[in-house]
Structures are given as structure tokens and as C-alpha cells.
């Protein structure tokens, strides 16, 4: 991509960001319990509940979602603040995916960089997914944002689970809200390269613990790249949704999510479909049917 084209798509990306930010309005409160068929507002076509041919099969397992720039990077190190760089339709899709997930998981790096809420806001949803953070040394619980507050998902009153490897933890000293649960998991030996520097939490152990302890049957892994790669290396991912935006970052943070990495993780590419001005690549474990007949109908 030429520098001129790059500059143009970055400018378009900024315009899209403001458009998307303006659309982020309603918040849905946590209300545990049975979730009915989703009522999808706008965006990438989602399966209407009453259309037999487009019926959504029950979704279980692990779905990884990552957004990439034109060169496959996951974030721009040059950005002063975290910006959404995918189109409104792709953001709607992400919120629908969160809505049909029992839990949404990220690594410590994503919370530190983006201070995300990981809630469903862009589509009606009758419960919020559990938020799950991998923070082996529990650094996030002791840190504050630049504004001096705790990270959003630690103080918004919705449920968050933080997995760590700190033995003999004095939980009282952390002064946590009742909505925060910290879970100790013994560290294990990491697989693959580019692994976290500190203690390693096995993705297989986490997936099992989330299912057994919290009833998580469908887990959405939302990043960042390091967390995503660990789940892939351990063959814990059942399907992948890659959102390709056309802008290019000035100082790209490589995702490392190449086709080879996905194939080595036991996944096969099902196809690519447009979503607004972005493109979505769909991958799945070969033996698993996609939840809908048409790829773009789910999520
Ligand atoms: N484009 C996208 O879709 C997307 C999505 C999310 C985030 N991002 C971007 O990605 C960047 C952050 O990247 P990142 O790779 O550092 O984020 P990350 O994967 O969210 O966090 C990495 C950290 O999480 C902990 N961690 C993750 N997996 C672990 C495991 N299996 N065992 C133990 N600890 C584990 C480690 O913490 P310790 O360092 O404490 O060991 C590790 O350094 C940000 O700029 C963010 O904006 C992009």
C-alpha cells in the first residue's frame, strides 16, 4: 500500500471511529438467567429467529475474534489512546458475538491498553457475559488508569473473574468489589513461542475451569494477540472471526496471527464476506458446522 493510500485510509478510519463512538449509547445491566433468541438491531446480517433456513445452531466451545489492519497488525503503538478502527457494522457483529457468549476473555495487556468494559451495548441483550481477565501477577488490581481510577471492568459492578498464579493470596488486602472473583491456577509450562514473560496459565485449564466453575459453555476470546496465540497454540479455539480493516497503523503491533498459525491450530478457512467496509474472514475446526448455513448470518 502506498503512503498516500495509507494516509487516506487512516483518515477514513478516524471518521469511522467518531461515527462508531457516537453510536455507543445504551448499556444493559447484568441480569443472570436464561437468554432468549437475540434480537439483532443492525449491522452484518444476523439470523432472524423465525427463519428456519437461517436458524442458529447452539454454539459452544471457544470463538476467537480479532481485528486487524491492512497489514495484519492488531494495534497502533503510535496512538495516544485506544481507538476503534473497524466499521460500525463490524462493531455491531462483535457485540452480537459477546451477547451469545457466556464469557468474554482478554489478557492483562488489553485491559491496560484499552480499559475496555467488554459489555454488550450495541445490540439488545438480556444478560451481560462474564468478563475474564488473565493477570498472572494481579497487577491490574493494584494499578490505576491515567485518570486515577481502577480499570472499568473492576469497578462497574458487573461480574469479572481474574485468573492469577499468586500463591497464598490475602484477598482482603485487595479491597475488591463483590462482583470481582480472583481464581488461582497453578502455573504450567507454556507452549509455542512469544509466550508471556511471567507464569503461564494453560488455556486448556482455563477453558475447563470456566466451564466447570462458572458454567461457561461458549467462551469468546477477544484478545489481545498474545492471549489469542496461546489459545491457538494449545488448540483451544473452535472458530475464528478475523475482521480486516483497510487502514494501516503507523507503528503496528504485529498480531502474529498468520494463516499458518491458524492452520497449525487445527482450523480451516471457510470464507471471507464483506461487513460494512471491512472484510470478515471465517475459520472453524473442520468437523464443526458453522452455526448458520450462511457464514455472515452468525454472529
Ligand atoms: N485488534 C484486536 O482485535 C485487539 C484485541 C484486543 C487487544 N488489542 C490490542 O492488543 C494490545 C495488547 O496486546 P497484548 O498481546 O499484550 O495483550 P493481551 O494478550 O491482552 O495481554 C497479554 C498479557 O496477558 C497475560 N496473559 C495472556 N495470556 C496468558 C497466559 N496464557 N498465561 C499467563 N498470562 C497470560 C500476560 O500478562 P503478564 O505480562 O502479566 O504476564 C501477558 O503479557 C493493545 O494495544 C490492545 O489495544 C487488539
pLDDT tens digits, one per residue of 270-287? 999 999 999 999 999 999
Q: Is the CB of 236 under 6 A from ligand 1?
A: no
Q: pLDDT band for 20, please (50, 70, 90 cuts).
A: very low
What is the residue extent of each domain of the chain? 3-27+38-297
Q: Is the CB of 252 under 6 A from ligand 1?
A: no
State the DSSP H helix or E strand holding residue 222, giving kind and residue range, or none if neither.
strand 218-223
Q: Is the CB of 114 under 6 A from ligand 1?
A: yes
Q: Exposed, middle or buried, 172 (CB in 10 Å: 0-12/13-18/19+)?
A: exposed
Q: pLDDT band for 161, please (50, 70, 90 cuts).
A: very high
- Given this model, what pLDDT does residue 271 score? 98
- Given this model, what pLDDT does residue 41 score? 28
Q: Is the CB of 233 under 6 A from ligand 1?
A: no
- Given this model, what pLDDT does residue 57 score? 83
Residue 19 has pLDDT above 50, yes or no: no
Q: Is the CB of 245 under 6 A from ligand 1?
A: no
Output the DSSP codes for 109-177.
HHHHHH-------SS--SSPPEEEEE-TT--TTT---TTSSPPHHHHSSS-EEEEE--TT--GGGG---
Distance (Å) from CA 265 to ligand 1 centroid = 19
179 alpha carbon, distance to own chain's centre? 20
Q: Is the CB of 299 under 6 A from ligand 1?
A: no
Q: For residue 82, give the ligand 1 atom closest to its CA.
A: 47
Distance (Å) from CA 224 to ligand 1 centroid = 4
- Given this model, what pLDDT does residue 166 score? 95
- Given this model, what pLDDT does residue 82 score? 74
Q: Is 3-27+38-297 in CATH node 3.40.430.10?
A: yes
Mean pLDDT of 235-256: 96
For ligand 1, pick from 162, 225, 261 the residue to mutate: most ligand atoms within 8 Å of CB: 225
Q: Exposed, middle or buried, 86 (CB in 10 Å: 0-12/13-18/19+)?
A: buried
CA-CA distance, 282 to 280, in Å (whole number)? 6
Specify the higher pLDDT residue, 255 or 195.
255
Q: What is the DSSP letter of 200?
A: B
Amino acid at each position: 500500500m502506498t503512503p498516500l493510500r495509507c494516509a487516506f485510509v487512516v483518515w477514513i478510519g478516524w471518521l469511522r471511529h467518531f461515527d462508531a463512538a457516537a453510536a455507543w449509547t445504551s448499556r444493559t445491566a447484568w441480569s443472570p438467567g436464561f437468554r432468549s433468541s437475540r434480537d439483532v438491531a443492525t449491522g452484518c446480517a444476523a439470523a432472524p429467529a423465525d427463519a428456519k433456513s437461517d436458524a442458529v445452531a447452539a454454539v459452544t466451545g471457544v470463538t476467537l475474534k480479532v481485528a486487524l489492519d491492512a497489514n495484519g497488525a492488531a494495534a497502533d503503538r503510535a496512538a495516544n489512546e485506544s481507538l476503534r478502527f473497524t466499521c460500525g457494522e463490524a462493531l455491531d457483529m462483535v457485540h452480537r458475538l459477546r451477547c451469545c457468549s457466556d464469557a468474554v476473555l482478554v489478557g492483562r495487556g488489553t485491559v491496560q491498553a484499552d480499559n475496555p468494559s467488554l459489555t454488550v451495548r450495541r445490540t439488545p441483550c438480556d444478560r451481560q457475559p462474564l468478563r475474564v481477565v488473565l493477570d498472572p501477577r494481579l497487577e491490574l488490581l493494584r494499578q490505576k488508569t491515567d485518570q486515577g481510577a481502577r480499570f472499568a471492568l473492576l469497578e462497574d459492578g458487573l461480574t469479572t473473574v481474574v485468573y492469577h498464579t499468586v500463591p497464598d493470596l490475602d484477598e482482603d488486602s485487595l479491597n475488591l468489589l463483590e462482583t470481582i472473583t480472583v481464581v488461582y491456577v497453578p502455573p504450567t509450562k507454556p507452549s509455542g513461542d512469544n509466550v508471556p514473560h511471567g507464569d503461564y496459565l494453560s488455556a486448556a485449564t482455563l477453558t475447563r475451569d470456566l466451564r466447570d466453575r462458572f458454567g461457561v459453555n461458549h467462551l469468546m476470546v477477544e484478545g489481545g494477540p498474545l492471549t489469542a496465540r496461546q489459545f491457538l497454540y494449545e488448540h483451544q479455539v473452535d472458530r475464528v472471526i478475523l475482521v480486516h480493516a483497510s487502514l494501516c497503523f503507523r507503528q503496528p503491533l504485529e498480531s502474529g496471527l498468520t494463516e499458518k498459525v491458524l492452520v497449525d491450530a487445527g482450523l480451516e478457512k471457510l470464507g471471507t464476506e464483506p461487513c460494512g467496509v471491512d472484510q470478515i474472514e471465517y475459520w472453524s475446526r473442520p468437523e464443526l458446522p458453522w452455526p448458520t448455513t450462511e457464514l455472515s448470518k452468525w454472529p
